[in-house]
Amino acid sequence: MKLEMKDKPGQLIAALKPISDVGGNIMAIIHQRDPAAAPGDTVDVQIMLEIPETKLESLVGTLKTQGVNVVRIGEERLLIRRSVILIGHIMHTDLTDTVDRIDSSGLAEVAELGMVMPAINEPSSAKITLKSASLGEMGRAIDLLRNVATEKDLLVIEPLEGYP
């Protein structure tokens, strides 16, 4: 479920309490505030939850009365895919950290990762496929990956889509 709400104290609770009240089980929450946004602007929150189908309509109604806009329900969230190649000392610069920084951003997730490591002291290469909910979020995720790659002295070759 993707929600949009005012970025002010108490709004997240206004969205979470009704889920609990109807017997929903919250499995994950992605709530990322845009530091450039003006106070009082809206914030997107993505919630992965389990809820009895019969309670969904009631939940949506309650959320609307709380001032929470339900943007999307039950659709596959990550529809945009982009692949890039990273070249450099990928393992020595902490591949887990690189993946975690993308995944924890809330912008995209690393969906696939394939690596070639020719020798222990030689540069390796990795094909990384990201999945995101929108082109805008994908662009920001690719920017984040570029910044991480620059910080770790890795070369990014992009995009792979459209090439044989």
Q: Which two tokens stand for residue 151?
A: 């910080």
Number of H-type helices and E-type strands within the chain: 4, 8
pTM exceeds 0.75: no
Q: Yes or no: is domain 2-72 CATH 3.30.70.260?
A: yes
Identify the band that residue 162 occupies on the pLDDT scale cut at 50, 70 and 90: low
In 132-156, which positions are buried (b, 16+ CB within 10 angstroms) versus exposed (e)?
bbeeebbebbbebbeebbeebebeb
Note whether 2-72 and 80-157 share their fold. Answer: yes
Q: Which CATH superfamily is domain 80-157 in?
A: ACT domain (3.30.70.260)
Q: What per-residue confidence (pLDDT) applies to 149?
A: 96
In degrees and rounded to multiples of 5, residue 14 shows phi and psi of -60, -25
Tell me: the pLDDT tens digits for 95-147? 999 999 999 998 889 989 999 998 888 999 999 999 887 788 888 999 999 99
Domain boundaries defined on the chain = 2-72, 80-157
* Pairing between β-strand 2-6 and β-strand 25-31 as defined by DSSP bridges: unpaired
